[in-house]
Structures are given as structure tokens and as C-alpha cells.
Amino acid sequence: MTINKNDLNKYLDVAREAALKAGIVIKEHFGKVCPSMIDEKAKNDFVTNVDKKSEEIIKGYIKSHFNNHDILAEESSSERKGSTFLWIIDPLDGTLNYIRGLPSFAVSIALEINGDLVVGLIYEPLRENIYAAMRGHGSFKNGRRIHVSRSDTLSASLIATGFPYRIKDIIDPYLRVFKNFFMHAIGIRRGGSACLDLAYTAEGIFEGFFECALSPWDIAAGALLVEEAGGVVTDFNGDRQYLKTGNIIAGTKGVHNEMLRVIQETFKN
């Protein structure tokens, strides 16, 4: 299905406005989070009043424009009415950084139509960076076109990852993969916000990113950004089921290829 560019722009504008509104609240409370504002959803998995407020603002704004669209957002139970439109929202990606005063977190909003990602927006409030992608029309940072890195080999790569803290029993294969990349790449970073790991891959800061057991809201917008910036995104089987499996490899064509090979060899043993 081809979607009219004007319509895509309209969806992107709503995502951008929603993220900017949420960003005001996020910035207001940054550095001021106290224990009474924090809940532990699961062990070492936190949510703050600010995550919840941000989500309320984003959902409210989207609903005020597209009341019949479905919404999947991290901090509320999913609202599926059978629409072909699905907004996928992470109101604050990098909550632990935010709580600790580490200035690396973002808002992530994506839109799927009939199961295809068509719009992705990531807003980094402290740096006022807006990353935006529309299917078939490229990826942009603050209105300027971005592309993945030209480096196409692992040995010339800075790789980003996240630790599998929710499923600690895969730590051994994860560490074997980590060791392989550690021995071959220029360096490895763990920034604490998966959507920013992907945005930075789309703009060529990182050549590749991999992580396991993520949720759709962590990666939907960022995956589209990487693809529209000329990169490749798959799950650990080399398929495009990363939103379902939560396992993701993203990078330049060559680096993605090398990472996929290492991950497949390691995880099957």
C-alpha cells in the first residue's frame, strides 16, 4: 500500500507536536526526581510520574486528532479497537538515566498502518534534537537529511548495545557476542536509551546496534529511522520480526551482516 506523502506529513506533524509538548514536562522535572515520584514496575524496572504525564500528554494530543486510531503505549494497557492505524509510544526512553540525572533520554513515537511502520519520530528534549522518518521519504535530524555511516566493516565500527537485564539467563551468549564485538570493533557503548541508540545509528555516530528482549515502543521509531537512513534492521534470525521478538540488529549493510553472522553462530551454540 502506498500512502500519500501529505498524509504522512500530517501524521508526523502530530507526532512532533505531541513529543514537544511532552518534552516541556520532561525538561521541567529533569534533575528533580525524588523517590516519591518513582515506582518499581518489576525488579530494577522503574517508572516515574514524569513518564506517566508524558504519556498522557502524547496520547491526549494524538487522540484529539485521530480519535479512531489504536494506541500502544508503554505505561498504559493497550487500546485496540481494530483500527488499521497503530501509534506506538515510549513516553520516556531512558527512564533510569532520567532518574539519575544522566542527560540521555528521549520520547519515541511511531505509526504503523496495516502492520507497516510508516512514521517514526524521536525527540531528545535536552538537546532539542528531532529525528524524523517517513517510509519511502528518508530520515531527518532537525529537518536535515541523515544517512548511516559509510563504514561498512565491524573493525571500523563503534557499536551500541543494551544489557539483557530483564532476561538474565541469556547473559552467557550475550557476553560471547559482546566479547567478539569487543575484540573486533573500535568500541562499544551502552547509552541506556534504545531509541537514541537507533537514532545515533541512523545519523552515523554508531555503525551498529544490537539488543535483546526489547519492547515495540523502544525500537519502532528508531528502526524506521535506520532503514530510511540507508541501514538494515532485522531480528536475530535475519527476518523483519524485530517488533515481535524484541531482538534487534541495526546497522550499515556490511556491519549488520557481520553482526548477524556472529549473533547467529553464538546463539545457536
Of 89, 81, 104, the residue nearest 57 (C-alpha): 89
Determine which helix (DSSP H) or strand (DSSP E) holds 139, and give its type and residue range.
strand 138-141
Task: Tell me the sheet residues that pair with 70.
Answer: 86
List binders of ligand IPD among 209-238 (CB under 6 A).
211, 214, 218
- Using the contact rule CB under 6 A, the part of the chain among 7-15, 61-69, 151-159, 190-198 near ligand IPD is 190-198
**Cβ atoms within 10 A of the Cβ of 221, count?**
32
- Using the contact rule CB under 5 A, the part of the chain among 82-90, 96-104, 178-186, 230-238 near Ca ion is 82-90
Minimum distance from residue 100 beta carbon to ligand IPD (Å): 11
Site string for ligand IPD, 93-112 (x = CB under 6 A): xxx-----------------
Alpha-carbon distance of 216 to 89, in angstroms, equals 9
Selected from 18, 19, 62, 93, the binder of Ca ion by CB under 5 A is 93
Selected from 194, 221, 225, 226, the binder of ligand IPD by CB under 6 A is 194
Contact residues for 77 (Cβ-Cβ < 8 A; gap 6+): none
List binders of ligand IPD among 62-91 (CB under 6 A).
90
Minimum distance from residue 201 beta carbon to ligand IPD (Å): 13
Nearest residue (CB) to Ca ion, 112 versus 218: 218
For residue 238, what is the DSSP state? S
Residue 150 sits at the vertex; the CA angle it makes with 146 and 154, to the nearest 5 degrees, is 125
Burial label for 101, CB within 10 Å (0-12, 13-18, 19+), is exposed
Point out which residues bind Ca ion (CB under 5 A).
74, 90, 92-93, 218
For ligand IPD, the binding residues (CB under 6 A) are 90, 93-95, 162, 192-194, 211, 214, 218
